[in-house]
Amino acid sequence: MILNYKMVNLLFLLCNFTLNNSSNLNVNTVNAVYYKIDRYDSGKKEEKSVDPSYEALKEVELALYFTKEVAVFKQINKISLADDLFSKMANIIAGGERYYNLVTKQKLEHMDTMGEEFNLVHPFEEYTWEITSETKKINGYTCYKAVSHTSEYSKFRKKNISIDPIVWFTPEMPFSFGPAGLDGLPGLVLEGSINGRLYFYATKIEFNIKAENIDFSKPKKGKFITPAEFEDILLRDMN
């Protein structure tokens, strides 16, 4: 069931109420959500246990640091055996460091590949979300399910591919951020998947943390390009 206009407005009102009344949330300080990556159960019990790439993926740890206006999402551990093929694959899946700014409406992903640095400029409103009435508890917070659908042409696969992200966000933490570009909702995303196979899930939430070592500034190093231009560069380097 998709929520109607009145229900969506109710969620936004709940966000504002929560923001003004929560004893934990202070919009002028830095908060953090820590995530890991898992794979949806395919029903094959042996699948996860024999997959080396999955074992490497379980070691990846990520963090979303955020204030009321800006956020950074990044991997906080480069997993061991970095020269191992499966570990490299896991680090690639984790993605580059992401930067979000609600004031300037910028959404960037910093990538370091082939000895070069790039800043991928993503659309600020990357997904058009449909908020459903389905809920579940994550880390003690009531989360709503939201879905989206889009498609894009993949030059690697030489065909259009469907992108069907699914997220669970909580209006109890009214910050429009989430992992891996899954954002733009009236609440923090605590669980989400881009492709329906792998998903990010919150393991711990911290409020009012020390921010001395967290850099919220816009990336300066690297060329600013679109994701499509980055794909062209990867194809060029492969040939």
CATH number, residue 100: 2.50.20
88-93 mean pLDDT: 67
Whether residue 17 has pLDDT greater than 50: no
With cut-offs at 50, 70 and 90, classify the pLDDT of residue 20.
Answer: very low
pLDDT at 25: 54
With cut-offs at 50, 70 and 90, classify the pLDDT of residue 21.
Answer: very low
Place of tokens 């899946």: 93
* Residue 97 near residue 72 (C-beta atoms within 8 A): yes
pLDDT at 62: 94
Place of tokens 């679109």: 226
Which pTM was predicted? 0.84
| Number of compact structural domains in the chain | 1
User: 137: number of CA atoms within 13 Å, CB side?
Assistant: 2
- 95 or 184, which is more confident: 184
pLDDT at 87: 65
With cut-offs at 50, 70 and 90, classify the pLDDT of residue 47.
Answer: low
190-216 mean pLDDT: 92
Whether residue 82 has pLDDT greater than 70: no
Whether residue 228 has pLDDT greater than 80: yes
pLDDT at 6: 46
Q: Which range has the worst mean pLDDT, 71-80, 126-135, 175-184, 209-218?
A: 71-80
163-170 mean pLDDT: 97
With cut-offs at 50, 70 and 90, classify the pLDDT of residue 26.
Answer: low
pLDDT at 23: 44
| Residue 157 φ/ψ region, left for φ over 0, alpha for ψ in the -120 to 50 degree band, beta for the rest | alpha
CB atoms within 10 A of CB 1: 7
Domain range spanning residue 93?
Answer: 5-238
With cut-offs at 50, 70 and 90, classify the pLDDT of residue 213.
Answer: confident
Q: Which residues pair with 99 in a beta bridge?
A: 72, 108
- Find the DSSP H helices in the chain: 5-21, 45-49, 52-57, 85-94, 227-238
Whether residue 73 has pLDDT greater than 70: yes
pLDDT at 44: 55
138-159 mean pLDDT: 92
pLDDT at 157: 80
pLDDT at 14: 52
With cut-offs at 50, 70 and 90, classify the pLDDT of residue 107.
Answer: very high
- 39 or 48, which is more confident: 39
